[in-house]
Chains A and B, each alone.
Chain A
Amino acid sequence: MTTDKPTVKNLPIAGIIFVPGSAKEYNTGAFRSQKPILDAKLCTKCGMCWVYCPDGAVFVNSEGMYEINLKYCKGCGICSEECARKAIKMVDEEE
């Protein structure tokens, strides 16, 4: 049987992980059943969505606007709830 999974022989001692923050490669967007849609026209850039996001999925793009990274967003809805201008709407994910 061939497998590409590492074995005891080629794993580092104590299972040390040498790449800091390697969880970035992991797609947690699959947790989501609803996705947030940010209306840029209503956004006042107060940053509440960014502050309260448990997943760090909200980021500031090159134009200085807040944007949601759907690779990491788990769809908890905190940003939509905390947005003072109600600029973020939660909509159902569709197949």
Chain B
Amino acid sequence: MSAQAFRSIKDIPLEEYFTPGHRACQGCGETIAVRHILKAAGPDVIVVNATGCLEVISSPYPYTAWAVPWYHVAFENAAAVASGIEAALKVLTRKNLISGKKIHVVCFAGDGGTADIGFQALSGALERGHDFLYVCLDNEAYMNTGIQRSSSTPYGAWTTTSPPGKVKPAGQMTYKKDLPSIFAAHGIPYVATATVAYPLDLINKAKKGLEVEGPAYLHVYTPCSPGWRIPSEKVVQVSRLGVQTGMFLIYEVENGQLRLTVKPSRRKPVTEYLKMQGRFRHLSDEDVERIQRLVDERCAKFGLPPLEAST
């Protein structure tokens, strides 16, 4: 397996398998990620797509933005359908009905389709060991239906179903579900997190996840311009700040070995990340301190430098 398939931006293929003309919002973070993951997969791929933003924006009938075979399935069963496709491909290859060329199966789902509704199907598929790549495009709420909270929404975020008020001043009062850790605990060969600001890291991880034998899980943090209340041109910048402040930890777990792939040398305070986004506008100083403390604790566990030393 080639460890670093794409060494520079110039190595990324020019072909678009997720074609222009899709109807995503201006500055959609999700589509940047999808473009690059499909470039890593190439033309021999079958895509399974759970309901969510991605499905809605890419397939208003009679148009499709997909230049590869694509299935749209319900919220809860993307991983189950991918398992079936993978099993069918295995049988067809065994019976010599298709050429022996490896056909990748990639699953795209949002954080709602992964953390909430599609959780059990994915857990089952990972446990059975089907050979596919599951990509969770985490924009931290149900953006497609109008910004409702999901279990992946971070503490303190405003959404339409977690509005800050007198009783719950922070908005979302619960903490983000740590999905990559949950799926790493399934003991699958490859789990990774990535974000759109580091496209080479993202595309290499997608490639690795596709080439690995058995299931792979890729968690991509994709900022959402309308949902996070950020101007469309700041989407990539927010994603980069998420990494630099330690809000997003970019790592991979390969056969149980954890390795940070993007390691910020100087960690910025979380306020820089929070201040850019309208969904954190209402936060009090105590709330910001609490988020900073949680991020510090988590970063210490991953071996990132403490904030004091880095300023």
Contacts and interface: CB of A to CB of B under 8 A. Distances in A.
A54 B29 CA distance: 7
Given A15-B61, A17-B61, A54-B29, A23 B20 contact: yes
Contacts of A53: 32
Contact of B66 (A20, A59, A60, A82): A20
A17 B20 CA distance: 17
Interface in B35-79: 35-36, 58-59, 61-68
A23 B31 CA distance: 14
Interface in B230-244: 231-237
B64 A77 contact: no
A24 B27 contact: no
B276 interface: no
For chain B, what secondary structure do more than half of its interface residues adopt (helix, strand, loop), or is it mixed?
loop
A67 interface: no
A38 interface: no
Interface stretch (B6-14, B85-93, B102-110, B137-145): B6-14
A53 B236 CA distance: 10
A77 B233 CA distance: 5
Contacts of A56: 16, 18-20, 35
A70 to B, nearest CB: 11
B63 A26 contact: yes
Interface residues of A, number: 40
A76 interface: yes
B174 interface: no
A52 B238 CA distance: 13
B20 A55 contact: yes
Does more than half of chain A's interface fall in helix, strand or loop, or is it mixed? Answer: loop
Interface string A14-29: 0101011111111110
B199 interface: yes
Contacts of B58: 23
A48 B232 CA distance: 16
B282 interface: no
Contacts of B61: 15, 17
Contacts of B59: 17
A26 B236 contact: no
B9 A46 contact: yes
A6 B61 CA distance: 11
Nearest to B31: A54
Interface in A67-95: 69, 71-72, 74-78, 80-82, 90
B27 to A, nearest CB: 3
A91 B30 CA distance: 25
Given A52-B32, A52-B199, A56-B16, A23 B65 contact: yes
Nearest to B16: A56
A21 B232 contact: no
B18 A76 contact: no
Interface of A: 6, 15, 17, 19-28, 31-32, 46-48, 50-57, 59-60, 69, 71-72, 74-78, 80-82, 90
Given A31-B26, A53-B32, A90-B233, 14 more contacts: A17-B59, A17-B61, A28-B22, A46-B9, A50-B9, A51-B199, A54-B26, A54-B30, A54-B31, A55-B24, A56-B16, A56-B18, A72-B20, A81-B233
